[in-house]
Amino acid sequence: AQAERIEAAEPKVQAFITRTLDDAMAQAAKVDAKIAAGEAIGPLEGIPMALKDNMCTDGVRTTCASKILHNFVPPYDATVVTKLKEAGAILMGKCNMDEFAMGSSTENSRFFATRNPWDIERVPGGSSGGSAAAVAAGQAVFTLGSDTGGSIRQPAAFCGVVGMKPTYGAVSRFGLVAFASSLDQIGPFTRDVRDNARVMNAIAGYDLKDSTSAPVDYPDYEALLGQSVKGWRIGLPKEYFGEGIDPEVKAVIEKAVKVLEGLGAEIGECSLPHTEYALPVYYLIAPAEASSNLARYDGVRYGYRSEEAPDLITMFKKTRAEGFGEEVKRRIMLGTYALSSGYYDAYYLKAQKVRTLIKGDFDQAYEKFDVLLSPTSPTVAFKFGDRTDNPLQMYLSDICTLSVNLAGIPALNINAGFANGLPVGLQLMGKAFDEAKLLQLAYAYE
């Protein structure tokens, strides 16, 4: 039935780059046999899932929606994939995304655009747009995305689903194709909070294969749901309710805050004074790291190689010129510039210092509050083509989500209601490793 659902929705939504339905059917038959035989089953046994196409899947094409990896078939699974398979989940396919996760609308995919299931003339958000749309359209019970500056939360907001960006280090990045290694995190898209907690249980945890993985105790997120949130202190950072936020979005968020107040939460205003620097800091650090990470695509070992190259240097040049799209090239150039000698101190080093100040803002706010609350995106889903001519306008789509990655903290998007029939997302931000709290609060709200 799930396979039929995918096929029925796919012509309209176009969430998948690759579908693995035959394998999925074979898997499902095995699960049926297991259940019939009365064998023990995993917490996600038989549950249909899909993955953003930047997570390595053994034997299944992994493209990052890029021409340069159009034919890449990894010989191994990412740690999250291994864990989900162990939990019993079944892979239905790989989801569309902005090329190398650079973008906010999935329009930067080199293959095709994904449409928002709520209005197919609008974008699903990005960069994990395919993963968000697949859950919203009922094509998978859950999907995974990756979030470097908002790429789980913003598409979750646009598609009206639950999306978690975990604490940096809580979910292994082994097998996730790197964009900006100090910011990237994998997290789940689901229709409700309980499902999200259950997938978090399966994927969070220490992993020896990721040197930035955190060796801490991870709680049972699902078991902690259902507790009262009475007396919880929720802060509203005033910088996130200012001018750039669409008044209709603000109105929906303010209504949601009233609901939380009704549940006994104490609401107060707070300030994150360095918020205005998040965008410039992010667009120095992320491209700098990307320019280094993407140096490996040279056409030699794997991926696309230009046909017409008389010598090695020309081969490198042509492969990269043809293999990467416009936005990826823009980032490589920005990053290479920021890291070049003579500019390093003025740009990259300075950005790292301001990053520390941004993190300090959050540390201070959490002295007074348990959780911070804001809109996830300043607007609802926009129309195709609206922001493609103006990179800066596209970058502003993530103004509410970037700081969280710079600070390394967790944040959760849940649906707060609708404006003109389109979903409005609410963002809950927590202290490092406080995912359980975000899920508890969201569960109480839901």
Q: Would you tell me which residues interact with ligand GLN (CB under 6 A)?
A: 101-104, 127, 147-151, 179, 286, 398
Beta strand segments in 328-395, E: 371-375
In this structure, the chain runs to a length of: 446
CB of 286 to ligand GLN, least distance (A): 5
Residues 6+ apart with CB under 8 A from 223: none
Active site residue 151: yes
CB of 323 to ligand GLN, least distance (A): 19
Active site residue 52: yes
> For residues 77 and 398, which CB has a smaller minimum distance to ligand GLN in the complex?
398
The residue annotated as part of the active site, out of 104, 105, 109, 127, is 127
CB of 153 to ligand GLN, least distance (A): 9
Is 249 within 8 Å of 419 (Cβ atoms)?
yes
Distance of CA 432 to the CA centre of its chain: 17
Beta strand segments in 131-255, E: 142-147, 162-165, 185-190, 233-237
CB of 349 to ligand GLN, least distance (A): 21
Is 253 within 8 Å of 426 (Cβ atoms)?
yes
CB of 208 to ligand GLN, least distance (A): 25
The DSSP code for 4 is H
> For residues 66 and 319, which CB has a smaller minimum distance to ligand GLN in the complex?
66
**Residue 261, token pair as written in the block:** 């107040």
The residue annotated as part of the active site, out of 52, 67, 83, 437, is 52
Active site residue 341: no
Please name which of 121, 68, 177 lies closest in space to residue 384, comparing C-alpha atoms.
121
Element (H, E) at 93: strand 90-95
The residue annotated as part of the active site, out of 128, 151, 291, 403, is 151
Residue type, 69: L
> For residues 149 and 423, which CB has a smaller minimum distance to ligand GLN in the complex?
149
> For residues 147 and 207, which CB has a smaller minimum distance to ligand GLN in the complex?
147
Residues 6+ apart with CB under 8 A from 413: 152, 153, 154, 156, 157, 162, 163, 164, 376, 425, 426, 427
> For residues 81 and 328, which CB has a smaller minimum distance to ligand GLN in the complex?
328
Which residues form the catalytic set? 52, 127, 151
